[in-house]
Amino acid sequence: MGGYAYDLSYSGRPVNDIIDEEVDSAEHDFLVYLMGPYTAFNAKYAYDNAKVLKSPYIDDPLFDPDKHIVKQKAEYEKALSDLCDSIRNKIKVRPFIATDVDIPTKTAVRRKGLTEDGLSVLDQSIAFAAISDAVIFIYSMAGLNAGPGSEVGAILGEFNLRHNHHRKAKKPRERFRIFCGPEFSSGSIDEIPEAYGVDVVNFDSKEAILNQIHSFIINIERKEREEDFPVFVPDV
């Protein structure tokens, strides 16, 4: 992977150590990496007559235009951050999104003229997913899903999770789960269970997704107690 060996380090420092410094602690040090859209869909950018709508944003269990608009930009990222806070407070584990960790992307390095190498968005996601106890993808009609949509196959493929892959899985598929909001539809996401053996679950409220995430984590903890269930299996 670009910029670092598959020992999960960046600039000579283990990614685990960087996350320990920058991600808020919780009652249990169970690490949950959360991925999803960072920008909310705004009808004003897509339709000339959007001004006649009561709101240019799609109703969503997680995104609230009154809370998640920053400097006139609708940020679904803020909704994901709020969800992380709820997970931390109610489930007592340690969730985070990529922007919680101060590793610059390659684009940020070029734009800001930084002297460090940076790490591509995909390489960051692979590293964060590798070291996390649980990995969650969230898809919503209210967000722009092109980024996370392209990442899911690349990440699951990186861990050799496609059925009938000739190499051993680098991470158990049961540590991944996909959550889809109301009315979200995608042919490629719908086929994830068959192609990769990763469950896709629908949610219609914030309470529902919190309960579903809690059950997901409980199942992982049970498997950790009952069998050999590694977080990550590096190449030999």
* Region label for 183, one of left (φ > 0), alpha (ψ between -120 and 50) or beta (otherwise): left
For residue 221, the domain's CATH number is 3.40.50.450
Q: Find the domain containing 191 and state its range.
A: 9-226
Helix (H, G, I), strand (E, B) or coil at 172: coil
In a domain, 234, yes or no: no
Q: How far apart are the C-alpha atoms of 56 and 46, rounded to whole Å?
A: 10
- Residue pLDDT, tens place only, 25-66: 999 999 999 999 998 877 666 555 546 555 667 889 999 988
Q: 83-103 burial string, b = 16+ CB within 10 Å, else e?
A: bbebbbeebebbbbbbebbeb
In a domain, 233, yes or no: no
- The model's confidence at residue 85, banded by pLDDT at 50, 70 and 90, is very high
In a domain, 2, yes or no: no
In a domain, 126, yes or no: yes
Average pLDDT value for residue range 170-174 = 96
Q: How far apart are the C-alpha atoms of 49 and 35, rounded to whole Å?
A: 32
- How many domains does the chain divide into? 1
